[in-house]
């Protein structure tokens, strides 16, 4: 494996040694030229956790931290991102009231915030369903998201948001009301039209134009690491591969690579990205 000339950071990836390829996927990322990942906790049900209280999410977070250690052993620098997937509300309301479900999700976020405060994670994750839901579920989801923003303010950390496609301009308003800078609210699977910080799928066609305009953005694979869905959303090699493809075609420079994968990441998450 050649020594990388610049950092390559995947802003949103899942690694799952139980349901997916696990550390082998992280090794693929490393061999392709990747250096840093933001490891995002998976939904509770994918780890066979069925929470009845916020404290039950600790099992999900502890597993994420354990996997982070396994990834770090490969030489990849890993930053855990912990939170409650917004689709949890649809599962929880199958066995409890909507009010109770929202309470469990807020409790899970409280639990995640403690990991951030203890230095075990660098950011939180929340959002709202990206699929059609009833007005009641949407309102409750926005209430949970507002709670996540309040925690991000308290923890002085970034928040990754999983939500519907499009700009999500109202979330920017929610962030400002919570006192959180919009450039620290990351729109996972984002698009350039968002007033939040866009984390773009590695092959997004807008990347060269954003580089030319100097618009801050980051790149992600959203790799799910599930054997039942191999390669979804894109593979673990995608961020380094597309970064190098853009570099080799002259659409970006090494200076651009440092800005995308180190400088911008540092500004959003408050971490220092250095070559390992």
Residue 132 CA to residue 104 CA, distance in Å, equals 21
Report residue 242: phi and psi, to 5°: -70, -35
Architecture of the 9-269 domain:
Alpha-Beta Barrel (3.20)
User: What is the average per-residue pLDDT within 165-176?
Assistant: 97
pTM for the model stands at 0.97
Q: Give the model's pLDDT for residue 230.
A: 87
Q: Give the model's pLDDT for residue 16.
A: 96
- CB-based contacts of 126, cutoff 8 Å, min separation 6: 83, 84, 86, 109, 144, 145, 147, 148, 149, 159, 160, 161, 162
Is residue 259 helix, strand or coil?
A: helix
Averaged pLDDT of the chain:
96
Please, what is the angle between helix 98-117 and helix 58-72, to 10°?
Answer: 40
Residue 66 CA to residue 42 CA, distance in Å, equals 13
177-222 pLDDT per residue, tens: 999 999 999 999 999 999 999 999 999 999 999 999 999 999 999 9
Residue 96 gets which letter from DSSP?
S
Question: Where is average pLDDT lowest: 140-144, 148-152, 153-157, 224-228?
Answer: 224-228
Confidence of residue 276 (pLDDT cuts 50, 70, 90): confident
Residues 29, 30, 34, CA angle at the centre, nearest 5°? 75
Confidence of residue 149 (pLDDT cuts 50, 70, 90): very high
């Amino acid at each position: 494996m050649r020594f990388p000339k610049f950092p390559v950071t995947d802003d949103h990836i899942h690694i799952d040694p139980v349901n997916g390829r696990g550390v082998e996927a992280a090794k693929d990322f490393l061999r392709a030229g990747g250096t840093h990942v933001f490891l995002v906790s998976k939904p509770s049900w994918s780890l066979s956790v069925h929470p009845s209280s916020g404290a039950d999410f600790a099992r999900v977070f502890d597993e994420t931290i354990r996997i982070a250690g396994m990834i770090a052993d490969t030489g990849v620098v890993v930053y855990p991102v912990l939170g409650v997937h917004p689709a949890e509300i649809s599962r929880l309301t199958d066995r409890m009231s909507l009010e109770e479900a929202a309470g469990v999700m807020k409790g899970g976020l409280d639990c995640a915030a403690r990991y951030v405060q203890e230095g075990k994670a660098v950011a939180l994750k929340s959002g709202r369903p990206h699929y059609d839901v009833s007005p009641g579920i949407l309102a409750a989801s926005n209430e949970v998201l507002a709670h996540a923003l309040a925690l991000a303010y308290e923890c002085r950390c970034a928040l990754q948001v999983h939500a519907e496609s499009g700009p999500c301009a109202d979330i920017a308003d929610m962030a400002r009301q919570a006192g959180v800078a919009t450039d620290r609210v990351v729109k996972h699977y984002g698009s350039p039209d968002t007033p939040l910080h866009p984390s773009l799928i590695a092959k997004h066609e807008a990347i060269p134009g954003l580089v030319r305009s100097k618009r801050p953005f980051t790149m992600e694979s959203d790799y799910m690491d599930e054997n039942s869905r191999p390669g979804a959303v894109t593979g673990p090699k995608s961020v380094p591969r597309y970064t190098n493809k853009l570099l080799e075609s002259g659409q970006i420079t090494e200076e651009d690579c440092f800005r995308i994968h180190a400088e911008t990441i540092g500004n959003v998450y408050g971490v220092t990205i250095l070559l390992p």
